[in-house]
């Protein structure tokens, strides 16, 4: 059984993951209308992943005697000054999500809820990967600069991007 404190904290994370899915969906649309098919597909896939993150939390809350709250979401940014700005926002957002997961882990320990603590380890590992991917992409974008040819190649190759992290040792 979840304590009220844990239930509220998990519900707040459900909202964050749902908002993440919307944020990346908006990025996918912006990239799509700019003709950047690879980046757009990458963002659509990111958006789907965030929905999975949300659903995993929803199931966990309901299975443990809580009630997952499906709430109104903040509207995401729908336009960006540049590809670089868009990926900077993605990176900043993932850092924010990591901080939120860390806070949840902290609360689970305070509440001595070891089942939730155990459940959250998957998210801890996932955030290491998500931040690593975002950082790798930003490095590449900075390298490309204003080179149109470089952007063309990046858009072509982004879907095959592999980042291996020490946490999981699995290529993405
Ligand atoms: Fe579910 Fe990208 O954090």
Residue 33's φ and ψ, nearest 5 degrees, are: -75, -15
Ligand 1 atom closest to the CA of 94, numbered from 1: 2
| Ligand 1 nearest-atom number relative to CA 16 | 1
Q: Is the minimum distance from the CB of 19 to ligand 1 under 6 angstroms? A: no
The domain total for the chain is 1
What CATH number is given to the structural domain containing 106?
1.20.1260.10
Is 171 within a domain? no
Range list of H helices, the chain: 4-33, 37-63, 83-110, 114-144, 148-157
The answer to whether residue 77 is domain-embedded is yes
The pTM of the whole model exceeds 0.85: yes
Residue located nearest, by CA, to atom 1 of ligand 1:
50
Q: Is 52 left (phi over 0), alpha (psi -120 to 50) or beta?
A: alpha
| pLDDT digit string (tens) for the chain, length 172 residues | 899 999 999 999 999 999 999 999 999 999 999 999 999 999 999 999 999 999 999 999 999 999 999 999 999 999 999 999 999 999 999 999 999 999 999 999 999 999 999 999 999 999 999 999 999 999 999 999 889 999 999 999 998 887 766 655 554 4
Residue 167 lies in a domain: no
Question: Does some domain include residue 168?
Answer: no
Q: What domain range is 83 assigned to? A: 4-160
CA distance 122 to 42: 22
Burial of 32 (0-12, 13-18, 19+ CB in 10 A): middle
**C-alpha to C-alpha distance for 116 and 121, rounded to whole angstroms:** 9
Residue 92, domain member (yes or no):
yes
Instruction: Look at ligand 1, atom 2, and give the residue with the nearest C-alpha.
Output: 94
């Amino acid at each position: 059984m979840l304590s009220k404190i844990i239930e509220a904290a998990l519900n707040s994370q459900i909202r964050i993951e749902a908002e993440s899915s919307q944020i990346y969906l908006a990025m996918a649309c912006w990239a799509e209308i700019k003709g950047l098919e690879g980046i757009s597909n990458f963002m659509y896939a990111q958006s789907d992943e965030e929905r999975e993150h949300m659903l995993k939390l929803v199931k966990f809350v309901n299975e443990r005697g809580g009630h997952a709250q499906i709430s109104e979401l903040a509207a995401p940014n729908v336009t960006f000054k540049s590809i670089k700005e868009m990926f900077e926002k993605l990176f900043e957002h993932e850092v924010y999500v990591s901080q939120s997961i860390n806070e949840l882990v902290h609360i689970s320990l305070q509440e001595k809820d070891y089942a939730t603590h155990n459940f959250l380890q998957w998210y801890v590992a996932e955030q290491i990967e998500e931040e690593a991917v975002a950082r790798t992409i930003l490095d590449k974008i900075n390298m490309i600069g204003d080179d149109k040819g470089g952007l063309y190649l990046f858009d072509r190759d982004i879907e095959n991007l592999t980042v291996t992290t020490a946490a999981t040792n699995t290529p993405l």
